[in-house]
Structure 1
Amino acid sequence: MTTLLKYPTQTNILIVDDTPDNLRLLAKILESQGYIVRKSLNGRMALQGVQRDPPNLILLDINMPEMNGYEICEKLKASESTAYIPVIFISALERLEDKVRAFELGGVDYITKPFQEQEVLARVKNQLLIQQQHQQLIEQNQRLEQEIKDRLKAEAEVRKLSLTDDLTGLYNRRGFFLLAEQQLKIARRTQTPCCVLFADLDGLKKINDTLGHELGDRVIMDAAQILKETFRDADIVARLGGDEFSLSLFPVPCSLSTEFQPEPSVHRLSDLM
């Protein structure tokens, strides 16, 4: 999963160098452009500071006692919480192999000492711009992902509504024939028996006419609940309309199975009427 970069509103730059004069000079150059500058004289202090408050950018010297710049960069890139922070190496080392190693460890740029003020500012500005564009791309992708999730959820809700009965929550006529057709194809392919049952509630019209449609709807909902409790989750239970119900059983349960004993449910349905 992509880590969303959380930067403060003002750009924060960490300078790591064991020479105080270098720290002061670099800090002065960067602060003149409005950057917030933090300074560390060694790797231990730098790593602690980064974990506590991640900067937008790190300017890192290589030749330092105890822990050199390569080791610091390696530790930063090994941690998911700090791997995204761009590191610009600033060093007096000019050999090609030194520069190559810096880039192999995850450095994004390399400035050779003695450095020029305009070069430092240009390279810093360039890396910050790249980070800003990267951040914007992450946020844009996250918005698109959320929009896709929302759209898929909405489409699923629409499909569900188009296949289910408003009153009972069972599949409606469209949903039943769509799913039953799929079951029938599987049954034919696997040569497995399937079973379709139809049922209607005799006397529902009389209840509606004499006692009102509200009570009639209550009878329909109770009947739907009995059918759902009687049959398996894998079975298709539907209300085709009015007092008509239909069921598709696949595979057909054994009539002697404890999982399928419809007789008590038939009596319960009869009691409703």
Structure 2
Amino acid sequence: MDHESAFHILIVDDEKDDIELAASYLQEEGYRLSFSTNGMSVIEGLERKNVDLILLDIHISEIDGFSIAKALKRDPKTSDIPIMFITAQTDIKDISKAFEAGGVDYIVKPFNDIELKARVRTHLENVSYLRDIKEKQAKLAQLSITDPLTKLYNFLYFDTQLKKYQIEQEEFWFVYIKINRFDTINALYGFTKANKILKMFAQLLQESMPKNSTIARLYGVGFGVLTNNYELKYMQKLYRTIEKGFLQKLNDIGISDYSIVFYHVNEPFRDTEQLYKKVQNIFREVIEEGKKYEFVTNPRS
């Protein structure tokens, strides 16, 4: 086993001889091992240890193994750690209590090295399998909210964040940016080059907008940004910064015509569709009037 990625096992038993025996068997498998003879210290300090499996004696002094297990299962930070109980008896009541307390297995002392290794290996394989599933689920979840071309958020995620603002009735800025006449770029350079330009445009957006902004590709050449309730003068300064640095970089990648609307949302809105229509109508007016940008604020701003 690769020691850098070796599983970490915590053995909790107030009998040092039992700990040493279990450790001698498990060290042969390359696991990282920690030991405790005090049940309370396990409850108080476990979350800092990054443990993958716990071997827990049922009849430990001060506090029994069942109480330790229940405490660990109540804590979200430790509830997923599998617990294998250690017992010197095969009393059915104790075994039943072990499973009721959240144990996944038990093993009887004195240990048989083959049995101990096999049981531990089985549960660690389960740990590895479950982690793999969680990682894949996390990747799938991320893919579901990511635009595949630009790697920005997609409309689905943007709309979800907008609805959060709606529910919480927070003030914020909705920035809408659209590349104009992009069909000309497609015609001149072809789809491959045009897609590269879109990706570069997305990167420039990320570099230009305030940190913690939600930046998304809403559709083809339309992009949206949700950002905090900054003062108007800050947003105006942001636009001047965009004009100086961002515009030059856009020219460098072949984009010479874009328009942007800064819409300050500081009053409740009925639904997100209503807000989209407002912003799109304002944007249409900007285009018709031949302007590059527009700041829209409520009279209270």
* TM-score of the two chains, using structure 2 as the length reference: 0.51
Q: Contact (CA 8 Å) 1:86, 1:107: kept in 2 or not?
A: yes
Partner of 2:133: 137
Query: Equivalent of 2:28, from 23, 32, 37?
Result: 32
Shift of 1:97: 2.6
Shift of 1:78: 1.1
1:103 aligns with 2:99: yes
Shift of 1:160: 5.5
Partner deviation per Cα, 1:43-102 (whole Å, 9 max, x = no partner):
023234423312111100001121110011111111111111111001123122322221
Judging changes above 3 Å, is the alpha-carbon distance between structure 1 residues 153 and 17 closer, same or farther for their aligned structure 2 residues? Answer: same
Judging changes above 3 Å, is the alpha-carbon distance between structure 1 residues 236 and 101 closer, same or farther for their aligned structure 2 residues? Answer: same
Shift of 1:115: 2.8
Partner of 1:47: 43
Q: Secondary structure at 1:25's aligned position in 2?
A: helix
Q: List alignment gaps of at least 5 residues for structure 2.
A: 148-214, 225-255, 262-272, 291-301
Partner of 1:82: 78
RMSD of the TM alignment (CA)?
A: 3.2
Partner of 1:259: none
Q: Take 2:221 and 2:32, find their aligned partners in 1: how far apart are those partners?
A: 52
- Greater radius of gyration (CA): 1
Partner of 1:127: 123
Judging changes above 3 Å, is the alpha-carbon distance between structure 1 residues 243 and 77 closer, same or farther for their aligned structure 2 residues? Answer: closer
* TM-score of the two chains, using structure 1 as the length reference: 0.56
Partner deviation per Cα, 1:120-173 (whole Å, 9 max, x = no partner):
100100111100111111111111111111139445464669xxxx967489xx
- Number of aligned residue pairs: 175
Out of 44-53 and 105-114, give the one that drifted further: 44-53
Q: Secondary structure at 1:236's aligned position in 2?
A: helix
1:188-203, aligned counterparts within 5 Å? none
Q: Take 2:12 and 2:34, find their aligned partners in 1: how far apart are those partners?
A: 9
Q: List alignment gaps of at least 5 residues for structure 1.
A: 1-7, 172-182, 184-232, 246-273
Judging changes above 3 Å, is the alpha-carbon distance between structure 1 residues 35 and 236 closer, same or farther for their aligned structure 2 residues? Answer: same
Q: Take 1:35 and 1:238, find their aligned partners in 2: how far apart are those partners?
A: 62
Q: Take 1:83 and 1:112, find their aligned partners in 2: how far apart are those partners?
A: 24
Amino acid at match of 2:281: I
Judging changes above 3 Å, is the alpha-carbon distance between structure 1 residues 235 and 128 closer, same or farther for their aligned structure 2 residues? Answer: closer
Q: Contact (CA 8 Å) 1:14, 1:37: kept in 2 or not?
A: yes
Query: Equivalent of 2:281, from 211, 233, 236?
Result: 236
Q: Secondary structure at 1:39's aligned position in 2?
A: strand
